[in-house]
Amino acid sequence: MNLELSDDQRAVLDGVDALLARHAGPTRAAELAAKGGYDDALEAALAEAGFGEIALGEETGALEAALVTERVARAAGGVAFAAGGLVAPLVAGRVLPGPVALARADDAGPIRSAPAARTLLVLDGEVARVAALAPGDVTPLRSNFGFPVGRITEAARRRGDALGAGSGERLLAWWRVGLAAEALGAMDAALRFTVGYVTERQQFGRPIGSFQAVQHRLAECAVLVEGARWLVYEAAAQGAPAEAAACAAGFALAGAGRVHRETHQLSGAIGYTTEHALHVWSMRLQALRLELGGPAAQLRALARERWGAPV
Amino acid sequence: MEFAFSPEDTAFRAELRAFLARELPADWVKLSKDGPGSDAQLDFSRAFCAKLAAAGWLTQHWPREYGGRDASPWRHAVLGEEMWAHGEPRGSQYMNVNWIGPAIMKYGSDAQKALHLPRISRGDVLWCQGFSEPNAGSDLAALKTRALRAGEAYVVNGQKIWTSYCNKADFCFLLVRSDAESQRHRGISVLLMPMTLPGVEVREIPSVVGERYFHEVFLSDVRVPVDCRLGPEHEGWDVVTYALAYERVGAARYAKAALVLDEVAAHVRSTGRLGDGGLPERLAEARALCEAARLLAYRVIDGRAKGGPPTVDTNLARVAGTTADKVVGELALEVFGSEALVYESFAAANFRLSMTAGVAVGATEVQLNLIATRWLELPKGP
């Protein structure tokens, strides 16, 4: 047992944080969100610095990819790093041409990052499929949940090369870990941002963050964020066992709803405005909760893995 | 990062489970239904701890010179998980080995070490903790029990409350105000008080959480020899802070809750309800709470294994652990339904234990205050 980052892991994080400080952050995220755009510049910068291959590195792997996923989400980076940098390489065994979008063959609903994606990784029953996306496969949709979204034709969701036996299960498990890592990063940032706000904001002659009624709610959020953190790290480090992956995703997505609610409540009316950065994380938290069937589906999966509950 | 126990620790867990299967009587669940303060369980725990000590495990994490084996905090954590998962058959003695012993090692005189450490290490002594008073609960530094020096003894007068195990305890780890003029954290001393001294009167406070769970301890002109004082006079707050830092890992409530939850799920499955709307999700949500609490507790153990000072990780782990225990306790009641009304039932017995989570060993609100100010660095309140 050792629950601390190694020096090498710290170096990875320092590197990605420095890159994100230049290329990401809430201001840029708000600009992109306004036009529903994908951050091609950030995608290119991450690829150039080698982070796109971190999941398959000689000295790095799934845990490091999960750590980077979390950091990108924390910086509200407008790229699909979880899909392209964590899930795809670990399922396909190679880096797929990015941006990568994740979809289920039988789900006609809106897909995150679809308007920008070059590659689609599809969960099709027991297998995963890799398909190149062509113009005409995707209809962009207006959305203000912080991610570019589009609908993908059924034809595109059904074509492509199957990755072989067990690839469906692997995709589902890594998708869950990636989703949980994204939720973790966004929850952490939303919480810290709100802590900053309630420390500054004065009412009744004192910072509102000095009231216990406010402190306890944020402290309870902190317990959720830190719990999600270690569930994500453990699931990633252990190679996404089905039970651990469902547990991390169920916990993180359930927590995401709570953190969204509490951070908005404590931010008052300013929290709803685009001039206040909370929305770049809080809206995404709700979007993440809608993926893969949401918290209830992750929890049902956990009940099945743990106790054999029917799907 | 590495999320696996060493092969040695894993082997130890297997050996320990075999030991528990041998040593816990078939009617252990029934025996423990009245809670850790009941006569039946206290008597059992005395015999059980002696066997655990004979196997070399009770105080294995202590230094060799005091009867330990220099085992790692991880090894001791495995012991704690298995004990809690099996209804804590050590009873009150978890306190002795977790923090009373270590406090005596650090602050005790040679005579105190010679008197107490071998007995604790043999599993042959029961202690209780004399901290809370009627007007000093979460605000422990408000304690008023006085101990005035009279020659070679302190004359102690006052009252402790919510004390567990004191009906059978041999000694009390007693906090007193030794300087009558002092306030708050200054002027407090720790006395290792024999419970047999004249003037010590124990009265049970009947409760709904277990037999003989709570007591009041009235102290009337109790003459406690000065050589029973642990550490410097008037500086007992430092002793307590040190002792409780050892207790930072706390009880492995998550391990008990996870095992109870597995039993609850097995019952749900056996009654054909594992597909019922909403039930599997709620079981899973409780499971996720247990798992998060386990990992947050591991963070604390990791910090101790590396020799770091106590951090707010402890408070995060405690809130997570008590939450998991309470959620599972309530869910078990629902799942077993009206059968849980029966006193001896599994769900009722577990519920009585889980009810005190979040109040026992420090209120959740105090933990949340510490998380708010030390982890989130929110401004201090009025």
For A5, the closest of B1, B74, B323 (CB atoms) is: B1
pLDDT one-digit tens code per residue, B27-36: 777 778 888 8
- Across the range B304-313, mean pLDDT stands at 90
Determine the pLDDT at residue B250.
73
Which residue of chain B has the CA closest to A234? Answer: B3
Q: What is the mean pLDDT of chain B?
A: 94
Domain count, chain A: 1
CA gap B73, B76 in Å, rounded = 5
Q: Which of B55, B138, B45, B159 is nearest to B92 (CA)?
A: B45
Show me where the domains of chain B are located: 7-125, 128-235, 250-375
CA gap A14, A241 in Å, rounded = 28
Q: Which residues of A touch B284 (CB under 8 A)?
A: 246-247, 250, 299-300, 302-303, 306
Q: In CATH, what number does B128-235 get? A: 2.40.110.10
CA gap A36, A115 in Å, rounded = 9
CA gap A88, A121 in Å, rounded = 7
Give the residue, B351 or A33, on which the prediction is more confident: B351
Which residue of chain B has the CA closest to A228? Answer: B292
ipTM of the complex as predicted: 0.97
pLDDT one-digit tens code per residue, A52-71: 999 999 999 999 999 999 99
Could A231 and B292 be called an inter-chain contact, meaning their C-beta atoms sit closer than 8 Å?
Answer: yes
Determine the pLDDT at residue B28.
79
Instruction: Read off the pLDDT band of B178 (50, 70, 90).
Output: very high
Q: Which of A175, A66, A160 is nearest to A111 (CA)?
A: A175
Q: What is the mean pLDDT of chain A?
A: 97
Instruction: Read off the pLDDT band of B25 (50, 70, 90).
Output: confident
Query: How close B77 gets to chain A, by Cα (Å)?
Result: 12
Q: Which H or E run includes A196?
A: helix A167-200
pLDDT one-digit tens code per residue, A256-273: 999 999 999 999 999 999
pLDDT one-digit tens code per residue, B109-162: 999 999 999 999 999 999 999 999 999 998 999 999 999 999 999 999 999 999
- Provide the whole-model pTM: 0.96
Determine the pLDDT at residue B249.
67
The CB-side HSE value for A95 (13 A sphere, CA atoms) comes to 16
Flag whether A95 is in a domain.
Answer: no
pLDDT one-digit tens code per residue, A116-126: 999 999 999 99
Share of chain A above pLDDT 90, in %: 97
Which residue of chain B has the CA closest to A297? Answer: B281
Determine the pLDDT at residue A65.
98
Instruction: Read off the pLDDT band of B360 (50, 70, 90).
Output: confident
pLDDT one-digit tens code per residue, A206-253: 999 999 999 999 999 999 999 999 999 999 999 999 999 999 999 999
Instruction: Read off the pLDDT band of A289 (50, 70, 90).
Output: very high
Q: Which residues of A touch B269 (CB under 8 A)?
A: 307-309
pLDDT one-digit tens code per residue, A35-53: 889 999 999 999 999 999 9
- Across the range B216-233, mean pLDDT stands at 98
Q: Which residues of B touch A218 (CB under 8 A)?
A: 372, 376, 378
For B378, the closest of A215, A238, A304 (CB atoms) is: A215
- Across the range A19-28, mean pLDDT stands at 97
- Across the range A153-168, mean pLDDT stands at 95
Could B316 and A222 be called an inter-chain contact, meaning their C-beta atoms sit closer than 8 Å?
Answer: yes
Flag whether A183 is in a domain.
Answer: yes
Q: In CATH, what number does B250-375 get? A: 1.20.140.10
Least confident residue range of B13-17, B28-32, B66-70: B28-32
Flag whether A67 is in a domain.
Answer: no
pLDDT one-digit tens code per residue, A93-139: 999 999 999 999 999 999 999 999 999 999 999 999 999 999 899 99
Q: Which residues of B touch A63 (CB under 8 A)?
A: 1
Flag whether A303 is in a domain.
Answer: yes
Least confident residue range of A102-116, A163-177, A183-197, B246-260: B246-260
Flag whether A4 is in a domain.
Answer: no
- For the segment(s) B7-125, the CATH number from 3.40.50.1100, 1.10.540.10, 1.10.10.10, 3.30.70.1060 is 1.10.540.10
R_g of chain B, CA atoms, integer Å = 21
CATH of the domain at A234: 1.20.140.10
> Long-range pairs for A294-300 at CB < 8 Å and ≥24 separation?
A294/A253, A295/A250, A295/A253, A295/A254, A295/A257, A296/B281, A298/A176, A298/A246, A298/A249, A298/A250, A298/A253, A299/A246, A299/A250, A299/A254, A299/B280, A299/B281, A299/B284, A299/B285, A299/B288, A300/B280, A300/B281, A300/B284
- Across the range B240-256, mean pLDDT stands at 84
| Residue A237 belongs to domain spanning | 168-307
Could A215 and B283 be called an inter-chain contact, meaning their C-beta atoms sit closer than 8 Å?
Answer: no
